[in-house]
Amino acid sequence: MGPLGTCSAVSALPVDGAAAAAALLFPLSAIFPSVLRMLRSFRLPGSPPPPAGEKGPSGAIFVWGTSPRGAPGPPPASLALAPVSAPRRLPPAGPGEPGAASPAPPAALGPSSRVAPSPAACSMLRAVIQTALCPLHRSFRRVPGRQLQRIPSRTASRSSALLSCASWQPGIMAATALKPLIAVCQLTSTPDKEQNFASCSQLIREAAQRGACVVFLPEAFDFIGSDTQETLSLAESLEGAQIQRYASLARECRVWLSLGGFHERGEDWASTRRIYNCHLLLDPTGHVVATYRKTHLCDVDLEGRVSMKESNFTNPGPEIVLPVSTPAGKVGLAICYDLRFPEISLALTQEGAEILTYPSAFTVTTGSAHWEALLRARAIETQCYVVAAAQTGKNHERRTSYGHTMVVDPWGCVIAQCQEGPGLCYAEIDLGYLRRIRREMPVCTHRRADLYGRVTVLKKPPPP
């Protein structure tokens, strides 16, 4: 299994002559361990299903779900073999809630059901895989320096069709729908802007090679100064060299970039000598399609633990920016401390947001107490995907960041998370799953605006 939220099947390119023969057959061998796990778990019609939660081959967990129409039935192959680290299902609903159904075994096969393969055929295929292709697959994976490339996953319905014994349908592979893949970066920014750019560009290129369509960077991706004076001296305008370099990188890699917290010298820099904390969204042509300036500034004094006053050198942003359509969905922009204010996430959702972004630099004290709880709460109450790129580790002598970059789905499940240190995590955005949750539990339409009003984005905020 690869990083959380990524496809576990990978293809590789050889780096030496000894692996050349293996490389010829590797694209096939890469998929056969999954087929083998399916065959090992195959049960004949009428045999009892494995209990829910029972571990299957290679650590797979068998989970009985419900059909799209709500009728009990067996899970598709893609869910039956889904590892615990990437939950993609709704938990059992409570009494009276949409989708409430008791776990049930597969329905009996009817006259119109497809005929299952015979035990003899399964045994023969299993023997071929075990004796030939699986050893080849294992030996090739040990080749040093291999370059990994993502093999996109299929939707559940297509996976079931492809793995069934139905007759071959021309063009079915071309018709297979793919879900957009996003990549979320975890960084340890320092006062060294060149080093930070080198780290960011390396992660962005890696994410692009893996097939990500949007790459999210954390707050202060450009630098984290050791004091206020250094921070102000290193800040740039949006027309400066730093943003131009990221625009070139977006064009080179053909990806969308969420630059989640740039130290911006605004138009009022000459008069105020204060900066903005600016979240930019760049398209694959390098154009800036949205700029959101942080509206909630972090002025916190936890005695003996954390003390910061962002308002000493930063101007608050004047407005909320409407969600932007991207290949992954409609993205709503926010930054770090905004996470503690549900009003902004509700306002963005009212405007059609499907993905909420909170690029951050939480401290260890506040992160260990509140980080995951806040992210999951925003996802649950808005029924949006929540993407949170984060700073991690020691940024300078007087600051350490919490890390734990993560992606939360609309049901509140953490579907991707970075481990310690700089790196990437990946997640597929399933808008069909999002719409299903909103359809089965339409909390947005259940709000009592007649009792407590409605949170909306002010198109023209009043002057301060």
Active site residues: 219, 294, 336
What are the Cα distances from residue 209, in Å, to 133, 147, 151, 187?
A: 27, 10, 11, 19
What CA–CA distance (Å, rounded) separates 197 from 203? 10
Q: Report the Cα–Cα distance between both ends of the chain, in Å, rounded.
A: 52
Chain position carrying tokens 């090679």: 209
Q: How far apart (Å, rounded) are the C-alpha atoms in residues 281 and 213?
A: 13
Q: CA angle, 112 as apex, 111 and 114 as ends, to 5°? A: 105
Q: Please choose, from the candidates 312, 203, 311, the residue with its C-alpha nearest in 3D space to the C-alpha of residue 257.
A: 203
Cα 332 to Cα 232: distance, rounded to the nearest angstrom: 27
Sign, CA torsion 377/380/382/385: positive
Burial degree of 432 (CB within 10 A; 0-12, 13-18, 19+): exposed
Q: Where are the beta strands (DSSP E) in 77-163?
A: 147-150
| Cα 354 → chain centroid | 13
Inter-residue contact 10 to 142 (CB < 8 Å) = no
Tokens representing 84 are 């615990």
**Alpha carbons 57 and 384: distance in angstroms, whole number:** 33
How far is it, in rounded angstroms, from Cα 432 to Cα 437?
9
